[in-house]
Copies of this chain bind each other. A is one copy, B any other.
Amino acid sequence: MDWEQVFASRTSRMKASEIRELLKLLDQPDIISFAGGIPDPALFPKKEFEQAFASIFASGESDTALQYSVSEGYKPLRQWLVNEMGKIGVPCDIDNILITSGSQQALDYLGKLFLSPNDTALVNWPTYLGALGAFNAYEPQYDRLIANGNRSADDYKQQAAEQGGKVKFAYMSVDFANPTGETIDANERKNILKLAEELDIAIIEDAAYQALRYDGEAHAPILAVEIQQKGSIEDCRTLYCGSFSKTLAPGLRVGWICAAKSVITRLVLMKQASDLHSSTINQMAIYKVAKDHFETHVPKIRDVYKSRRDKMLVELEKHMPKTVRWSQPEGGMFVWLTLPDGMDGAELLAKSLETQRVAFVPGKAFFADGSGANTIRLNFSRPDHATIEEGISRLGKLMKEAV
């Protein structure tokens, strides 16, 4: 059978993620990997999850835990999130929260909600690869989000019209972004809001790394800034996407969207039609662990990752040639390196795997326009100090040969 003739046009946009394909090759034990973007499993609250699952069965909640449940999500978890959102300046109620299967699903749903083919999504150059992957299924065009006033709303609108659609939303990872590690500051957040107002579009605020700040002062979420301006979440255009993957555990696939009810209502219908609901038992387990341990557990993760970030920055300083620059992340999991013009991250990776046995992610895939060949992403959440020391030293050697 010739499948191509029955596939929808969107399938031509679905490509294998370079990162995930790469990760499959990294099983060899002698490779030092800065390529991942995953938490250190040594930091998972295993005892706490063990108790949570056990108590679901011991307490007679298992009929509920194993049964179908409502698309909106498990009520006590949504209520817990209402309180958490309140702490970061987002007063809301339970009907402003939808539980998703990780924040990746939130991005998929929001792409599905807004994008008709050839509509424009505004994204950073570079941006989270998984967001591009999720949105691509809905066949958008991309334009570069620049909110410093250098590009007018009219200019964006005209570009989008020329591409055959409308600007629908601006997407950005706000804190210690994947891949750059950079944070959008308070002033930029206001500028993004202003541009979105002028364009009358939604803002998708990806806050997956929000809790992983190691130093510097936290900035209010864009949604919090907007609520301050407008008085109520119901009048806000910002859709906040959160996740438990970086704080508790990714394997349970639990995240959330916090937004105006008029949007949540639509997303609930979408979830109903797409997978009915996220795993009931996992939502219950996440709730139990979050309720009793979130506040004490997250600082422990922060301590470990902070020291690894510090170690990586020190080693980069020690080993990198002067022509290589890198970000100074205040949190998250990544440092972003910019190599001299003309150097190619993918070629460097091939050479690195061959001669130094060090893996990382070439940065090009994070750029919606295919630029950024001279960038690479390093992960510091997974390797320990000794590995960072050895790996960055080897990488420095390679770089010095290459430049």
Asked if A71 lies at the interface with its beta carbon under 8 angstroms from chain B, I say yes
* B253 with A277: CB separation less than 8 A: yes
Within 8 A of B (CB), among A51-87: 53-54, 57, 62-71
Q: Which residues on the B side are within 8 Å of A253 (C-beta)?
A: 275-279
Contact status B281-A252, CB under 8 Å: yes
Given contacts A8-B113, A44-B66, contact A273 B1 (CB under 8 A): no
Q: How far is the CB of A221 from chain B (nearest CB, A)?
A: 18
Given A8-B115, A50-B57, A269-B14: A251 in contact with B2 (beta carbons within 8 A): no
Q: Does A378 touch B at the CB level, under 8 Å? A: no
Is A130 part of the binding interface, using a Cβ–Cβ cutoff of 8 Å?
yes
Chain B, residue nearest A139 (CB)? B116
In whole angstroms, how far apart are the Cα atoms of A136 and B273 in the complex?
9
The reply on A41 being an interface residue by CB < 8 A is yes
Residue of B nearest to A71 (CB): B20
How far is the CB of A32 from the nearest CB of chain B, in Å? 19
Assembled-state Cα–Cα distance A14/B272 (Å): 10
Interface size on A, residues (CB 8 A): 86
The answer to the question of A337 belonging to the interface, with a C-beta cut-off of 8 Å to chain B, is no
Q: How far is the CB of A240 from chain B (nearest CB, A)?
A: 15
Does B41 lie within 8 Å of A251, measured CB to CB? no
**Contact B273–A7 (Cβ < 8 Å):** no
- C-alpha spacing A70/B22, complex, angstroms: 12
Known A279-B252, A280-B251; judge A49-B62 contact (CB<8 A). Answer: yes
Contact B130 A9 (CB under 8 A): no
> 17 A-B contacts, Cβ less than 8 Å apart?
A3-B266, A6-B114, A6-B202, A8-B116, A8-B119, A10-B112, A17-B272, A44-B62, A44-B66, A49-B57, A66-B250, A105-B275, A108-B275, A134-B274, A137-B274, A253-B276, A279-B279
